[in-house]
Structures are given as structure tokens and as C-alpha cells.
Amino acid sequence: MTLISTAQLIIGLADLAAAFLFMYGLKRMSSPVTAPSGIFVAGLGMLVAILASFLYVVDADAASKPFVMINVGLCIAALAIGGSIAWLAGKKVPMTAMPQMVALYNGMGGGAAGAIAAVELFGGKAGGTTALVVTLLGALIGAISLSGSLIAWAKLQGVINQPFRVIGQQYFNLLVLLATVAVGAYFVYAATGGAARFLTSSHLIYLFFALALVYGILMTLPIGGADMPVVISIYNAATGLAVGLEGFVLGNPALMIAGMVVGAAGTLLTLLMARAMNRSVQNVLFTNFGESSKHKPSHIKGSLKPTEAADAGIFMRYAKSVIIVPGYGLAAAQAQQKLYEFVKLLQSAGVVVKFAIHPVAGRMPGQMDVLLAEAGVPYDLIFQLDDINDEFKTTDVALVIGANDVVNPAARTDKSSPIFGMPILNADQAKKVYVIKRGQGKGYAGIVNALFYAENCDMVYGDASAVLAKMIESVRGLGSKAA
């Protein structure tokens, strides 16, 4: 067996193992019991594939032979630098910043796919119309995913606070996309023997990437922060697709399979999220969510009734049952530990406490589950929307912490509301509702919440962490007096 065919055999086996381990790892990750081991299974696949890939030097292009040592050195340096920076950042980032971190890593993947396409295009390695079209398609999707994910990151990080909207924006965006496709088509035409009269092919490549990156920015800018989970999920699927397409160009089945598995899985995840909000993906991307709701709906009666944290805490201490509805405010205030401390106090006083999680609470589906798990809240206290929604009407107190849109009754009743039809948690049906909120502002979607004005609802203003601390103090105070 020659050296080259030995290398090919090893790479082939490693990629086969990687493809299997990725799918098996993802399968394990889709059940809570086996999930923690799933990432290690997938990680092993990644390690095997990366190590075997160094063998590409054996069968490298003749033209690259003089640069073998430099290329291997660059490769090791890039792996070490990129890997260690991202690794350290991933270890240090607070749990509450996870969504934007996933967006950032996802953008990197999209950028890598785009860069691979660029190497293929500049090197003139992708021959034939099919290969060129697939390369460009992967490049387009990868580049959009890169710049779009960066905007999503900036929005979640608070660097960009306001959705950027201009009249006719969607048409302008469509024009940019069409222009990108036109440049790509012209490039294919020129590269396959057509007479290129305008730009050189490398100028066309630059122009193509610039337009694709701009499109990714323009497409993401008008989308409100509340929709970012869906957007990140879309870009996650998009990056997978781009990776799969570039895998086809490189003839690498591990990339093809892993990319397409993620593309499909990400698409399904996106649909699940959009369904939870009762909106179509198209609606998320192309409708200016929250814009139509700046007026206060006329049918809202009553007023906001502020109350003291201590009073609310004591009231809950003497309730029979409490359902807690956490939202992004809990994550922002890093109050999950405090919350569980308070819950344990209530439990030791005999109160039955449950958590109700809306599928899109927080900035990412499941973010609340992760936060509560971090604080040590056991699973059997955590209930999803369908499992607990009927219990609100027999519950003494609903405690809403930093959640807004997911408990807005307008979704049930107000046809003009942008969130009409979205399944919500029926917190308003509890006998008493307390809402912990930072200020009187509107929710992330910018919609007035009729619940806050309801007869049975009191508002506790303040940072969730500080409010919970006061509640804990007041309930503890009772205990010591009683003793």
C-alpha cells in the first residue's frame, strides 16, 4: 500500500468515525439522562477528524509542496489560537450570556465555511458549473450566517439596542440579495469560459462576499431582540447547510453529513420555536414585530399597583400554592440562586411551589430550564406550558419574575395584538399575581401587558435579585419571631 492510499484510508476511517460519533452524540444529547455524555461522544468525533486531517499533507496539491512546513505550522497555530481563545471565553462566560455566545461561535463556523469557499474560488480549484454553483451557494449562506450572527450577538449583548427600520427596507434587502446572486451568476459565467468584460474574477469574488456580508447585516438589523432565539436557530441551521455544501465541494463526507444533520436539526428546532410563539418563520424574518403596538389598547382598565417586596414575600409564605413564571429578567439579574433559596424557604413553610416555563421564555428556548438547573432546582418542580397551564386557576399565587410577553393575556383576547394567538401561561387566572419587574417599561416585544393592570395583580418594582433578597429577609424575619 502506498503512503498516499494509507493516508486516504486513515482519513476515510476517521471521517466515518466522526460522522457516526456526531450523530450518536446528538442522539444522546436529546434526552436529559444521557445528555451530559453526548457532548463528549461528539467531541471525540471532532478530535479524531482533526488529528486525521493533518494527513492531507501527504496527498496535497503539487503546487503547495514547497509550502508544506509553513502550511502545517500555520495550521497548528490557527488551531491553537482559535481553539484556546474560544475555549477560555466559553469557560468564562456567565450562563446568562450563553445565547450570544452560541451566536458568536455559530458566526465563526459560517465564516469558516465562507473562507473555505474563498480559497477554492481564488485558487480556481472548484471546476465545473455544479461545483462552482455549490461553492458560491455555501459561501453565500456562510457569509450571511457570519454577519447575521454578529448582529444577533450585538443585539443580545446590548451593543445594539434598537431595531433599525426604514420604510421599504425589505425591498432594499431583496435588491441586495438579488445583486449578490447576480454577481455570483456572472462569476460562474466568466469562470466557465464566458467572456468577462467587466471585472476580473477576483474582484467579482470580493464583491460577492461583500454583498453577502452586507445582506446578512441588513437582514438581521430590523428584527427585534425578542425574536433573536429564532434568528440564532436559523443561522445555526444555515451554517450547517453551508458546511454541508462546502463538504460536497471538498468531497469530504464528514462535512457533508455533519453539516446536513445540523442543517435539518436546526431547521426543525427553528420551527419548534416559531410554533411556540405561534408565528411563522417568515413572519419573524420579514415582519416588523412590535411596531403596531405602541399605543395603549383602549380596553385596558385599572392601574398599576406597586407593592413592597416584603409584603409580597409574606403573602406567599402563607399561601398554599405558588407557581413561579421566570423570564429573561431573572437571567439578567442573575437571580436564579436567590430564587431557589426563596423557594426552599416557602417549601419548608409547607407551600407547594412549582415552576412554569414558557417555551420561548428568555432569549433562547430552554434557557430558563438551564438557569434553574444551574441553581439546583430539581426537575420535578419544573413544568412546561401544556403541563401546568390548567393549574393556574386553582393556584393561590403566580409569581412572575422578569417575564412579560409570555403572560400577556392579549395573546388570548386582543386580535389586534401582534402576539395574538401565541400560547401563553395563564398566570392571570391565579388568585393573586405578583410581578417582579425592573421598571414600568414594556416587554421585549414592546407590547403593553393587560395583566399588570388587572385587579388581582400587584407590581414589585426592582432588580429581581434585590427583590428576592428582601422577600427572603421578610420570610426569615417571620420565622425568628415565631420561634
Measured from the CB of residue 413, what is the shortest distance to other proteins in angstroms? 25
Residue 93 touches other proteins, criterion: CB under 8 A: yes
Encoded amino acid at 182, one letter: A
Looking at the Cβ atoms of 56 and 452, the one nearer to other proteins is 56
Residue 253 touches other proteins, criterion: CB under 8 A: yes
Residue 379 touches other proteins, criterion: CB under 8 A: yes
Q: Which position among 112, 160, 300, 310 is part of the footprint of other proteins (CB under 8 A)?
A: 112
| 311 belongs to the catalytic site | no
Q: What CA–CA distance (Å, rounded) separates 342 from 476?
A: 10
Q: What CA–CA distance (Å, rounded) separates 54 from 388?
A: 53
Q: What CA–CA distance (Å, rounded) separates 188 from 288?
A: 35
- Count other Cβ atoms within 10 Å, centred on residue 17: 16
Measured from the CB of residue 300, what is the shortest distance to other proteins in angstroms? 31
Residues 292-351 that bind other proteins (CB under 8 A): 318, 320, 344, 347-351
Residue 23 touches other proteins, criterion: CB under 8 A: yes
- Count other Cβ atoms within 10 Å, centred on residue 466: 14
Measured from the CB of residue 428, what is the shortest distance to other proteins in angstroms? 22
Residue 226 touches other proteins, criterion: CB under 8 A: no
Looking at the Cβ atoms of 365 and 446, the one nearer to other proteins is 365
Residue 477 touches other proteins, criterion: CB under 8 A: no
Instruction: Give the binding range for other proteins (CB under 8 A) out of 176-184, 189-197, 218-226, 234-242.
Output: 234-242
Residues 26-45 that bind other proteins (CB under 8 A): 26-27, 29-33, 35-36, 38-40, 42-43
Q: What is the number of residues in the chain?
A: 483
Q: Which position among 168, 193, 378, 441 is part of the footprint of other proteins (CB under 8 A)?
A: 378
Looking at the Cβ atoms of 20 and 461, the one nearer to other proteins is 20
Print the binding letters for residues 411-450 with other proteins: x by CB under 8 A, - otherwise: ----------------------------------------
Residues 177-196 that bind other proteins (CB under 8 A): none
Q: Which position among 96, 120, 436, 452 is part of the footprint of other proteins (CB under 8 A)?
A: 120
Looking at the Cβ atoms of 125 and 305, the one nearer to other proteins is 125
Measured from the CB of residue 170, what is the shortest distance to other proteins in angstroms? 27
Instruction: Give the binding range for other proteins (CB under 8 A) out of 160-168, 179-187, 236-244, 410-418.
Output: 236-244
Residue 67 touches other proteins, criterion: CB under 8 A: yes
- Which residue's entry shows cell 443580545? 156
Q: What CA–CA distance (Å, rounded) separates 76 from 226?
A: 40
Residue 264 touches other proteins, criterion: CB under 8 A: yes
Going edge to edge, which strands form the sheet with 382-384? Answer: 382-384, 352-357, 321-326, 397-401, 432-437, 457-461
Q: Are 146 and 216 contacting, i.e. CB atoms less than 8 angstroms apart?
A: yes
Q: Which position among 181, 188, 281, 370 is part of the footprint of other proteins (CB under 8 A)?
A: 370
Residue of 227, 369, 405, 458 marked active site: 405
Q: Which position among 3, 78, 175, 185 is part of the footprint of other proteins (CB under 8 A)?
A: 78
Looking at the Cβ atoms of 232 and 448, the one nearer to other proteins is 232
Residue 476 touches other proteins, criterion: CB under 8 A: no
Residues 194-213 that bind other proteins (CB under 8 A): none
Catalytically annotated residues: 405
